Chains A and B, each alone.
Chain A
Amino acid sequence: MTNLAKAKSYKSDIKPIWCPGCGDFAVLSALTKAFAFLDLAKQDLAVISGIGCSSRLPAYFSSYGFHGIHGRALPIASGLKLARPELTVIASGGDGDGFSIGGNHFIHACRRNLDMTYIVMDNEVYGMTKGQASPTTQPDWASSKLTPHGTGVRPFQPAAIALASGASFIARAFSGDPNGMTKLIIAAIQHPGFSFIQVLSPCPTFRPEQKLWKHQVEAFPHEPTDDPVKAATRLYTDDGMSSGLIFQSNYPTWNKPEVAQTSVKQFEEEFVV
């Protein structure tokens, strides 16, 4: 099988609901290419999501998947990974799902550092509810009926928050650079720990100005570092419109302790007076 044919075999026959020009198509495609490159068995792969346009992702794969509830992709994915550590688990979703309603889980999944990959398709807008400001929206974006004066709130800094929370692999990708994104996804899946990729994924419907991203996004101007202080400085001096691997370290992952095994009967004995 050619690599392309193999990549295609990871797709289901369900047609995505996404609008033409949506950046999420490229993410779907890059993920299948990464799966093909890594030669993952479909039955040992699970894609988990919450709610939102990009959270529709799991059904578009021929692997196992879970399309859960808003904001809870990471807990569902974490539970699955804890119960079945041998599976490759990919959590995915959008910026509202991951950073707003699911923000607490984002912080703690980074801390816990389970060996899984979290891909957030960030378009700085709630698309499924027809265009409201998300945590990553600029404060002066006034095109939503809900916030006609703009949010006036500083945008959430996903990579910086991930770094502060203890994620061990932090990258930014751009859906307009599918090859670069595929490489980052491959590295993220291979990384033993919690890998976070913020994908700049334009919304042509509610944020048509994002079509210009293809002229704005550049390569992250530094080599990856394992020094969180360096990474933090770079993130704070960066405009967020760059792609590449930012930070990778070998922080310990949460592991099940090794303990001597017994039986439930033994626990019953403890109650005997």
Chain B
Amino acid sequence: MSTQNCTHSIAITGSGGSGAITVGNMLLQQAAKNSLYGFMRRSVGPQIRGGESAALLRLSDQPVFCPDDRFDLLIAFDWRNADRFALEIPLDSQSLIITDPASGEIPEVIQQSGAKIIEVPLKKMASAVSGGRINMVAVGLLTALLKMPAEVATDIISSTLVKKGEEAIKSSLDCFETGFNYELPGKLPCPQLMAAEPGIRWNISGNEAAGLGALQGGVRFVAAYPITPATEVLEWLSPRIEKIGGTLLQAEDELASINMAIGASFGGTVSMTSTSGPGLSLMSEGIGLAVASEIPLIVVNVTRGGPSTGIPTKSEQSDLNIALNGLHGDAPHLVLAPQNITDCIDTTRWAVQLAEALQTPAIVLTDQFQGQSRCITPVPESPDLAMARKVAQPEKDKVFERYAITESGISPMAIPGTADCSYTADGLEHKPSGQPSSIATDHHDQLDKRQRKLDLFEFGEKWADIHGDGQLAIITWGSSTAAVLEAAQRLKFTGQTVKVISIRLLAPAQVDSLEKELIGVNRLLVVEQSHSRQFYHYLRAHYTLPDKVNVFAEPGPLAITPGTITHAVQLLKGELS
């Protein structure tokens, strides 16, 4: 991508039930139908119902996976709890605010931005229509403001509301028309979006994408325990997995869900669970059991602000430490991180296949930012990989040894039902047969074997994504990648080249591969979303880094934006004091 994105960032806010998220969803669909791209975060408060909610939307002529540094437009249905949003919706003197005079005074914290304020009688316009709703007036206003065709919008309204009946559709269309035809005394401070290449687009969230990737990878058993912000992974899977011969069960707690997944995988069924930080803590002993007993499974961890209950509805990359190091003993396992919403499909699928091939657990680290955001994306490429569990068959005159010491470290796994291969899986250290053993040589042999599986495996090119080249490199992982890539693109636009390395396979560390990529790099900027620089410490622990290393580490809950990273690059280059 050599040109700079043309994007519009729009925030739609309101109290719970005001339909802000619906407006965002409808605009996102319009973008797709109009050959554009889009990205939408949801920001919600801790209330179950009736709290504030915001759709934070970005429309673009190129695929986008992160928010911009500022918003072009804020449309507020009311100002209740606006202070909670203020930091998440940076406005400036170029921005527009659309507000209803009936909603009262604009809060000081919003007014301070100097944004241009346009008053639109939203409530009055909606109440002129029988059964009218403000949010549908807003869809009309925004569609006109974005110069998107009315027909596409009305089709989307009609199909979205089909279950609500003819009357609801009629009043919504009337509200839309009122909004669409309203003469706004102002326009967006950015050029009109031009349609990108036409083609089929997907509208998908990271949580849905992780679920899809799991099914593509072959997952057919899921044990579930609800937790924000991972619940949608499980809720997406539940009605679907049973339609492809699989099973999802709601367990009594996370201890049960991880161990149920272990039991099902022992039975030969590709298995997973999904959780977030607090649940991952509870699952850690079970994940260790899967390492020791060599049971493949995956855990999709949708990280939220921590520690403890933390900020359940907001994002952070602070479960890296526990994912990498949370198991007791020497417990080699896989940790992978998708780099954007659509990559949640590929990385989760790859994780399933690696776990199966290596007979060890894989933790997929996504986060609330990726999981609960939606994007409009070109149709992702079809699955390519085919890796499967090495399954044991009886051999004549040979006693089956489940944990046989092999060159690759991988030993064929017998599936219950297979005659003459029965064994007892064990979390106790064991002999090759599985018989418990505390003898030093058995322990060393099994430790070596379990480590060797990961050390000798050829992970190929997918361990990281490398973009660009240069003596200055930014190294990052997971959901920070999108903002870093956009920052690199902006820098390129101003003639500055940076290399971006985004690590997908965090464990086992791919030492040789990274060091090869760092040849010629004399300055490194580490970008991550944690307070204690977890990623930086991980890099220091495993890799030889250039002499000059700077760290950009910000905790959640605010998203990392491209501008903060270009700023960090300029700081380290001494261009800013």
Contacts and interface: CB of A to CB of B under 8 A. Distances in A.
A82 B257 CA distance: 12
Interface in A232-273: 254, 256-257, 259-264, 266-268, 271-273
Given A75-B259, A272-B202, A80 B424 contact: no
Given A14-B435, A64-B423, A68-B289, A256 B242 contact: yes
Contact of A59 (B29, B208, B419, B426): B426
Nearest to A17: B436
Interface in B409-430: 414, 416-428
A84 B260 CA distance: 12
A83 B252 contact: no
A87 interface: yes
B426 A67 contact: yes
Given A43-B417, A78-B260, A79-B260, A271 B204 contact: yes
Interface in A40-98: 41-44, 46-48, 56, 58-59, 61-69, 71-72, 74-84, 86-87
A66 B268 CA distance: 13
A191 interface: no
A190 interface: no
Nearest to A257: B242
Interface stretch (B4-12, B50-58, B215-223, B307-315): B215-223
A65 to B, nearest CB: 3
Nearest to B209: A271
A90 B175 CA distance: 63
A48 B266 CA distance: 11
A156 B323 CA distance: 37
A78 to B, nearest CB: 6
A75 B268 CA distance: 16
A108 interface: yes
Contact of B263 (A78, A257, A261, A271): A78
Interface string B248-282: 01011101111111111111110100000000000
A69 B259 CA distance: 9
B245 interface: yes
A207 interface: no
A104 interface: yes
Interface in B217-247: 220-221, 223, 240, 242-245, 247
Contacts of A77: 263
B376 interface: yes
Nearest to A49: B424
Interface residues on B, range: 35 or more
A67 B215 contact: no
Contacts of A211: none
B271 A83 contact: yes
Contacts of A107: 252
B267 A87 contact: yes
B263 A64 contact: no
A264 B349 CA distance: 13
A183 interface: no
B203 A271 contact: yes
Nearest to A91: B263
Where chain B touches its partner, the secondary structure class is mixed
A8 interface: no
B264 A75 contact: no
Given A58-B424, A82-B260, A72 B286 contact: yes
B247 A68 contact: no
B226 to A, nearest CB: 15
Where chain A touches its partner, the secondary structure class is mixed
B256 A108 contact: yes
Contact of B269 (A59, A84, A266): A84
Contacts of B249: 78, 82, 254
B201 interface: yes
Contacts of B268: 83-84
Contacts of B524: none
Contacts of A87: 267, 416-417
A11 interface: no
B267 A259 contact: no
B435 A59 contact: yes
- Residue from B220, B221, B416, B425 with most neighbouring chain A CB atoms (10 Å): B416
B423 A76 contact: no
Contacts of B240: 267
A80 B267 contact: yes
B194 to A, nearest CB: 19
B221 A83 contact: yes
B69 interface: no
A6 interface: no
A85 to B, nearest CB: 9
Contacts of A81: 263
B259 A72 contact: yes
B264 A79 contact: yes
Contact of B264 (A43, A63, A80, A108): A80
B122 interface: no
Interface in A1-51: 12, 14, 41-44, 46-48
Given A14-B435, A273-B29, 17 more contacts: A12-B424, A41-B419, A58-B424, A59-B436, A68-B259, A69-B289, A75-B251, A75-B255, A75-B258, A75-B263, A79-B221, A79-B259, A79-B266, A84-B269, A261-B244, A264-B215, A264-B216
5 smallest CB-CB distances across A and B, nearest first, come from: A79-B263, A79-B260, A65-B424, A75-B259, A83-B264
Interface of A: 12, 14, 41-44, 46-48, 56, 58-59, 61-69, 71-72, 74-84, 86-87, 104-105, 107-108, 254, 256-257, 259-264, 266-268, 271-273
17 contacts: A43-B419, A43-B421, A44-B417, A59-B424, A66-B266, A68-B259, A68-B293, A69-B285, A72-B255, A75-B251, A75-B259, A80-B264, A83-B271, A104-B253, A108-B252, A259-B243, A272-B379
Interface of B: 29, 32-33, 200-204, 208, 212, 215-216, 220-221, 223, 240, 242-245, 247, 249, 251-253, 255-269, 271, 285-286, 288-289, 293, 376, 379, 414, 416-428, 434-436
